[in-house]
Amino acid sequence: MIPSATFRADSYWRGPTRMGPLRRADAPGGGFANLYTAFSPDYGTVAIKVFHHTERDVAGFALDRRVADFEYTRLCQMNGAGGHAPAPLAIGTVGEGDADRRVAIAMEYIEGVNIEQAVEGGWLTGGSRGLPNTGVVADVCSKACAALLSCSPVSNRDFSPRSLMVRRDAHAIRDVVVVDFGQSVDSRSSMVTPGMGNKRLATPCFGAPEVFGGPFYHQRNSRATDSYSIGCIAYYMRTGRPPFRALMCVDPTSPEGAASVVAAKRAPIAIEFVGGSEADSMLADVIRSCTDFCPSNRPSISSLETVFREIAAAGGVGSEAVAGIHPDNKTKDVTLPDACRRAVVSVAVGLVCGGVTALLPLAFEWVSGTVCLLF
């Protein structure tokens, strides 16, 4: 915690200095940083990403400074290309005293929830227990692809449900915002996060296999890694369960852990959807294509944006769910079309009426016999 520290800049960093105090935000931070909020007289409420690296590189520079500067540059690049990321406002240090000065980035405060919070809280289904239908899933993924395209030629490489924020108005999803570029790479320079080198730091359940090793390790910086993660996120949103759940406790930074991730991802995700709509079939096909083990077999981000938009139209964005699969995988809600509901009701009514009609003569005979016995 940083209970009463203020944001300040030194001679190396840029931006205004009036920030603080910092309060821990509800949204989870990344593996190498924590997220706080603060009030700035210049910008109002802002998000503060505080890095907690303690290593130093061979030149003796603190890695938290270099990593923060790297991500600050990425955010500037993203916003220069049209947005879809928090606007970087300042970069500096936080903490009391020289011994506790940690580097941080002040960013535009994005009001919304990440994909994980949206799925677990029913945020995309109006608060109902079921998960978002295929149309809503495809709509979110299409907007996520648009966000990725706006920062080309940067590859994020570590997309997960916590890396995407969803903002909506009263009627529809307004936009999807990318909030984490800690593992990103620019294909023009092959520059990766300082100090990371070839460390395998993607999220095991959602990261592409080549990021962790294997025969395609030389393609770990291509944009095909983002295509893989988008497919995994689509699966997670539709089922409420992360793909490759056996990898949730694996340490990808160890050679053994990285090898187990690669081995588990040699086959595409097994699709477990309920329902047989055209949109469900299309989404299943896209997820299989995205999670192909070979990067060159995966669809591009631009083609995925188009395909997801078509699936959203076929699935009816904002309509009733064709099949809602609950996170506990025990209760499955299937919402039938109106015509099917009418048919089921008609058959049920017919059976009830027919049964009553058939029983009337028997009931009459029984009553008559009983009356005769009494007299």
Rounded Cα distance between 274 and 272, Å, is 7
The residue among 207, 289, 286, 227 whose CA lies nearest residue 31 is: 207
Rounded Cα distance between 76 and 108, Å, is 12
For the chain, the domains span: 23-108, 113-332, 337-375
Backbone angles phi, psi at 328, to 5 degrees: -80, -5
pLDDT in tens, 270-307: 776 656 788 888 999 999 999 999 999 999 999 999 99
pLDDT band at 203 (very low <50, low <70, confident <90, very high): confident
Summary count for the chain: helices (H), strands (E): 9, 12
Q: Give the model's pLDDT for residue 123.
A: 78
Q: Give the model's pLDDT for residue 5.
A: 46
Rounded Cα distance between 248 and 1, Å, is 27
pLDDT in tens, 252-267: 778 888 899 999 999 8
Q: Please report, rounded to a whole number, the percentage of residues in the chain having pLDDT higher than 90.
A: 14
Dig out the tokens for 48 from the structure: 């503060």
The per-residue b/e assignment along 140-167, b for 16 or more CB within 10 angstroms, e otherwise, is bbbbbbbbbbbbeebbbbbbbbbbbbbe
Amino acid identity for residue 77 in this structure:
Q
Higher pLDDT, 256 or 322: 256
pLDDT band at 66 (very low <50, low <70, confident <90, very high): confident
Rounded Cα distance between 144 and 141, Å, is 5
pLDDT in tens, 22-37: 676 655 445 567 788 8
Region 83-104: what's the mean pLDDT? 72
List CB contacts of 285: < 8 A, sequence separation 6 or more. none
Dig out the tokens for 229 from the structure: 């993660």
The residue among 289, 298, 304 whose CA lies nearest residue 145 is: 304
Region 97-117: what's the mean pLDDT? 76
Q: Is the pLDDT of residue 176 over 60?
A: yes
pLDDT in tens, 218-258: 887 788 888 999 999 999 999 888 888 888 888 877 888 88
Rounded Cα distance between 324 and 161, Å, is 19
Q: Is the pLDDT of residue 195 over 50?
A: no
Least confident of 68-77, 125-134, 361-370: 361-370
According to CATH, the superfamily of the domain at 113-332 is: Transferase(Phosphotransferase) domain 1 (1.10.510.10)
pTM of full prediction above 0.75: no
Q: Is the pLDDT of residue 85 over 60?
A: yes
pLDDT in tens, 112-130: 888 888 888 877 776 566 7
Q: Is the pLDDT of residue 332 over 50?
A: no
Q: Is the pLDDT of residue 341 over 90?
A: no
The CATH number for 23-108, chosen from 3.30.70.920, 1.20.1050.10, 3.40.50.300, 3.30.200.20, is 3.30.200.20
Region 198-216: what's the mean pLDDT? 79
Amino acid identity for residue 143 in this structure:
K
Rounded Cα distance between 116 and 127, Å, is 14
Question: Mean pLDDT across the chain, nearest whole number?
Answer: 70
Q: Give the model's pLDDT for residue 335.
A: 33
Dig out the tokens for 103 from the structure: 């580097």
The per-residue b/e assignment along 31-58, b for 16 or more CB within 10 angstroms, e otherwise, is ebbbbbebebeebeebbbbbbebeeeee
Rounded Cα distance between 63 and 178, Å, is 23
Q: Is the pLDDT of residue 134 over 60?
A: yes
Q: Is the pLDDT of residue 103 over 90?
A: no
